[in-house]
Structure 1
Amino acid sequence: MLGSVTSTISLRKCFYLSVMVFVLSTLMAMVIIIKLSPLESVRCQSRGGTTPSIEWSSTSPGANININNRRIDNDSQSENTNNETAKETNDDNNIYHKKMRNNSNNLLNRMSKLSWKMRSKMKPLLMQNNTKQLDINYNIHIFYYPWYRSLSYDGEWRHWNHNYLPNWKKNDKRVFPDGSHRPPADIGANYYPSLGCYSSNDPQVIDRHMWQLREAGVGVLVVSWMPPTAPDSTDSLMADLLDAAHRYNLKIAPHIEPYPGRNPINLMEHISYLFNRYASHPALHRAARNNNGPLLPVVYIYDSYRFPSSAWWELLSERGNLTLRGSEIDAVYIGLLVESSHRSHIKKSRFDGFYTYFAVNDFSYGSTWKNWKDLNKFATQNGLLFVPCLGPGYIDTQVRPWNAENTRHRRHGQYYETAWRSAMSSGANIIAITSFNEWHEGTQIEPAKSVSNKDFTYLDYEPEGPDFYLNLTKWWVQQFTEKFNFL
């Protein structure tokens, strides 16, 4: 009885808070429509004391936008200075309009903060039933990167000390930083991990990550992999990752990264090596190519479109001269779709499915949310798996300082929520999250903390807290599971 009363009260609170947020959002929309002031706030963050909140535009992160404080008296300066009455009138008008704009700005800022405050109070209510452990959903995949190394654990830094990458736009004459970052104070990321600059080799870190993903209900880690001979290879960690995943009843699918000299022939040789070592492990993720087919390992192949479809056909078609179908390295092979034309490439290559990877809406055809329904329809018509990939946001300006135009601000979870809704409405029954810990590109849902050095202040998840995106993921996994009635 007490439980039902508590549930009723919680639902009632949730309803009232939802109504209040709706009313506030409507009021804000009305204010915007009548053009009191442009609302560009994408991050509300307090650093303590009296530090003002910073408003960033979507095209120039870090720029303080306040167009309503520009002086608007250029015309009055050209008036006859001897006409004191006209000057005073113009000055009065300027002061009046400036005051009105400032008042409008203040009103919008207060409404924005109040809206986020109400939303932050409502979210725990929406997620309060998630205190119980979710059943794992193996149709939720997440990209995982085990390439980090620390000086204290490994004797060297890797990836935390990432280089600034050269600008791919050769006609861009702007000057940007170069060289490499110097951890632990300065890292190649716009956010800073709660665990600090950890080593992916550390068993405690691995165990912590597996526990976090298990709590969120995510079933499959798509683990970045390259063969032992490749630079930055992660093969030495696969056994430990598989063992740790198995302890939490999670699964692992390899994500074949590009590496020097990769081609379809040696790629199959390297996958043969991978299967010979790990195919018997119970944590290796398997799925059926069709309803009546056997369970086969699942393999993601990044940049698959760089090889011609004719080369893939020889390997993935049952009629190919080098076919691997029915062999010991037969698998569910999932290629990357970036451009619209890649649909034909995927089909002609005889891939079993395709994924979109990028967490940047509108960056590519595949990553654009509005295209996912059509892509799912294409996949269904051709007997393919479609895996839309969503993320909480994107920012990589600590690695690609010239790439601000592709930043996608998180907006306190709104971006992530919209991506989830788009993926679920597409009809796809497998969803991948980009990513758990790709810190360089700011797509991680791994907990982050507030950190700053003398030159840079790292982004964080405040005011919702370091675990916000894990909790939000858990909530959406539950919605996805209920919608598709997964058991």
Structure 2
Amino acid sequence: MDKELPRRVFLTTTVPLGGTLLAGCNQPTDTEEETQTENTTQTDTQTDQPSETPDPLANADFTLSETGIIYGDSVVVGLELENTSEAELNRTLPLTVGGQQLDRAQLTLAPGESTTVELTGTPEKTGTQTVEVGNHHVGTVVVRAAKPDAARAVGAHYYPWYGSPLHDWRDGEWSRESPSTPVLGDYNSADPAVIEQHIDWCRQAGVSWLNVSWWGPNSVHDTRFQEDILGHPRADELSWSILYETTGRLGSDPVALDDDYALERFTNDLQHLAETFFNRDSYKRIDGRPVLYIWVAQNLRGDVESAYQSAVEAAGVEPYLIVDMPVRTSLAGQPMIEVADAVTTYSVYNPNEPTREAFIERAQSTYRSWYRAADYLDVDVIPTAAPGFDDTEITHTQRDNEPVPSMPEIYQQTGQSARHYADGPVLVTSFNEWYEDTQIEPSEQHGTAYLDATAEIIASAEREPPTFEGEVFRLIFERTVPESELNPQVEDGRDLTFMLYQLTIETDTGATVLDADIGTRPEGVEFIVGSSGPEQADSNSWQWLGGSRETVISVPSLPDRGRIDLTGIGATDMAVSLKVGHERLDTTRITDELATQTLRLG
């Protein structure tokens, strides 16, 4: 970035939050306010009640060229002055912005003489700052962080819960529950100075959108978002949206959205959001519709489509719905995918594979798989960049996860993967979730490294759209079978079609093109839509097809004429058809016994 914010104030200040050394958070202290009041009073007195030594600047005409500038630009103050006294005027005129002297002029005027003076200086920090010449208040200037030239929209998950009356752990020292230390200390999320600094850091990083954790109508989170955040004078510099905290509103266990209680609560929530947030000018929109992000959307079951449509009709608005799914989830058959406009994942962390390498690989493989599936499911993919995961310092709730320590190198690599598979925006987990150490907000440990990486790797860098090798065919099954019909001990199981052991492809002359043991993840074979992961028992391995009636498979090549053999067990007796492109080539029947069924090519 051309105009990088200096780190010296962020990393060395020890003044209390809101003190004058906090970058971008300058608010006058009580003493400063009293001093300014005294100065104003003195000036008024000198103007209204002439004394033996009147202030020659009392009648000066001050002009402030701009009340808002970009960091790196200059503040310019003009001054027109006439010496109306009978003595020569000698005066030093210092220009101070945000308490820092930036320029000075030495003025000498004979009696009756007039002059014009221009003072200029470049502020060393961002934020709302007072402009003074000597003891005279000229005005206020907002110094905004420069934004990178963005190639795409970048959003970040945002948590407004720090500080009383919300999270006030450890007697206010809530950051002791994080492996990292915020540069801003144990701040209160409602502090206008903190909000302003966060806005400037977002600008610096190329983050144009914050997705705000929301816990229900009239909650403290709701009020803080409405009044403190959206009420901030600079809030309209970013776009904002709702991260619907599903477990906080509907419970931590899977729930049928068409259940009376769940549907009523969700409908009331959606009506509140529509009335309170969706119609604001600064609310985030995609395709002209207000964004709603549903966290852990896999928990919502039942007749989701009709329940969601009922809530939308009651609210009078249909949001652009982004649903959070676990990494490596097979999207077909997920009830919320039926109503989603886009799919994403909040975190690529998996406690069963807590290594840096696995963390990075999961991000890449998940986005690749979902990107290929998106066209068949009619959803967008919004990939996520994250620096790691570490909740080992949390004490206010029980956690027992082995960490993937957060570091800029992980963030850079997940950011590259996210950018590569993003036709639209990218999301970041997170701007300030300190308890899980996923934040890109500056810390004492990493400074602005995450902000810099966001700007350079995610927001600004161009991408080459993904390309895929191989050829695709589709299997269209007559129906799906609930897993509970095959195994009564399973509740809320998968929808299944075929238990596939072996996939063989031959030409019409009998030459083998592919002979793959499906349960071993064979190279070159990719299940794009309609399958679960490989499974194994004893010496056998397989992969269940299902989730929807359609399974889409990519293989290295398909002959123009030949055959596809499916070896396995059907979930029930039913028909299955083969399609390549838009052409249906053949149909056969499968049974619930182990057998090989053939579908003809050409």
TM-score normalised per structure 1 = 0.56
**Quick one: structure 1 residues 248 and 185, their matched pair in 2 at CA, closer, same or farther if it must change by over 3 Å?**
closer
1:273 lines up with 2:265 in the alignment: no
Deviation of 1:270 after TM superposition, in Å, equals 1.1
Deviation of 1:195 after TM superposition, in Å, equals 0.5
Identical-residue share of aligned pairs (%)? 22
> What amino acid maps onto 2:183 in structure 1?
S
Structure 1: runs of 5 or more not aligned: 1-5, 7-130, 162-180, 289-294, 450-459
**Quick one: structure 1 residues 233 and 402, their matched pair in 2 at CA, closer, same or farther if it must change by over 3 Å?**
closer
Residue aligned with 1:441, SS: coil
> What amino acid maps onto 1:403 in structure 2?
D
Residue aligned with 1:278, SS: helix
Name 1:403's counterpart in structure 2. 400
Deviation of 1:275 after TM superposition, in Å, equals 1.6
Which of the numbers 280, 298, 309 marks the counterpart of 1:305?
A: 298
1:80-117 deviations in Å (ceiling 9; x for gaps): xxxxxxxxxxxxxxxxxxxxxxxxxxxxxxxxxxxxxx
Kept in 2, the 8 Å contact 1:194–1:448? The answer is: yes
Deviation of 1:261 after TM superposition, in Å, equals 4.4
CA–CA distance in structure 2, aligned partners of residues 391 and 136 of structure 1: 19
Residue aligned with 1:253, SS: strand
TM-score normalised per structure 2 = 0.46
Note the 1:451-462 alignment, pairs <5 A: 460-461=445-446
CA–CA distance in structure 1, aligned partners of residues 283 and 266 of structure 2: 19
- Alignment length, in residue pairs? 302
Name 1:443's counterpart in structure 2. 438
Name 1:433's counterpart in structure 2. 428
Structure 2: runs of 5 or more not aligned: 3-144, 252-261, 466-602
Which of the numbers 382, 407, 410 marks the counterpart of 1:387?
A: 382
Name 2:256's counterpart in structure 1. none
Name 1:249's counterpart in structure 2. 237
Runs of 4+ in 1 over 6 A off after TM superposition: 363-366
**Quick one: structure 1 residues 483 and 250, their matched pair in 2 at CA, closer, same or farther if it must change by over 3 Å?**
farther
CA–CA distance in structure 2, aligned partners of residues 137 and 267 of structure 1: 35
Residue aligned with 1:373, SS: helix
CA–CA distance in structure 2, aligned partners of residues 477 and 209 of structure 1: 18
**Quick one: structure 1 residues 428 and 409, their matched pair in 2 at CA, closer, same or farther if it must change by over 3 Å?**
farther
Name 1:418's counterpart in structure 2. 413
Deviation of 1:483 after TM superposition, in Å, equals 5.9
Which of the numbers 306, 317, 323 marks the counterpart of 1:314?
A: 306
Residue aligned with 1:281, SS: coil
> What amino acid maps onto 1:475 in structure 2?
E
Name 1:204's counterpart in structure 2. 193
Name 1:457's counterpart in structure 2. none
Kept in 2, the 8 Å contact 1:239–1:278? The answer is: no
Residue aligned with 2:248, SS: coil
Kept in 2, the 8 Å contact 1:221–1:253? The answer is: yes
CA–CA distance in structure 1, aligned partners of residues 268 and 391 of structure 2: 34
**Quick one: structure 1 residues 468 and 278, their matched pair in 2 at CA, closer, same or farther if it must change by over 3 Å?**
same
**Quick one: structure 1 residues 481 and 276, their matched pair in 2 at CA, closer, same or farther if it must change by over 3 Å?**
farther
| Higher percent of residues as strand | 2
CA–CA distance in structure 1, aligned partners of residues 233 and 208 of structure 2: 10
CA–CA distance in structure 1, aligned partners of residues 161 and 151 of structure 2: 26
Deviation of 1:420 after TM superposition, in Å, equals 1.2
1:376-414 deviations in Å (ceiling 9; x for gaps): 111232221212222112111001786352x22334x21
Name 1:43's counterpart in structure 2. none
Deviation of 1:347 after TM superposition, in Å, equals 5.9
Name 1:469's counterpart in structure 2. 450
**Quick one: structure 1 residues 374 and 439, their matched pair in 2 at CA, closer, same or farther if it must change by over 3 Å?**
same
**Quick one: structure 1 residues 315 and 402, their matched pair in 2 at CA, closer, same or farther if it must change by over 3 Å?**
closer
CA–CA distance in structure 2, aligned partners of residues 188 and 429 of structure 1: 35
> What amino acid maps onto 1:409 in structure 2?
P
Residue aligned with 2:264, SS: helix
Name 1:159's counterpart in structure 2. 167
Name 1:27's counterpart in structure 2. none
| Higher percent of residues as helix | 1
CA–CA distance in structure 2, aligned partners of residues 346 and 221 of structure 1: 27
Deviation of 1:185 after TM superposition, in Å, equals 8.4
Which of the numbers 339, 347, 360 marks the counterpart of 1:358?
A: 347
RMSD of aligned alpha carbons: 3.1
Residue aligned with 1:276, SS: helix
Which of the numbers 139, 153, 156 marks the counterpart of 1:142?
A: 156
Structure number with the bigger relative contact order (C-alpha 8 A, sep ≥ 6) is 1
1:225-247 deviations in Å (ceiling 9; x for gaps): 122355x6344323432344865
**Quick one: structure 1 residues 148 and 185, their matched pair in 2 at CA, closer, same or farther if it must change by over 3 Å?**
closer
Deviation of 1:352 after TM superposition, in Å, equals 1.5
**Quick one: structure 1 residues 246 and 287, their matched pair in 2 at CA, closer, same or farther if it must change by over 3 Å?**
farther
Kept in 2, the 8 Å contact 1:336–1:354? The answer is: yes
CA–CA distance in structure 2, aligned partners of residues 381 and 340 of structure 1: 15
> What amino acid maps onto 2:207 in structure 1?
V
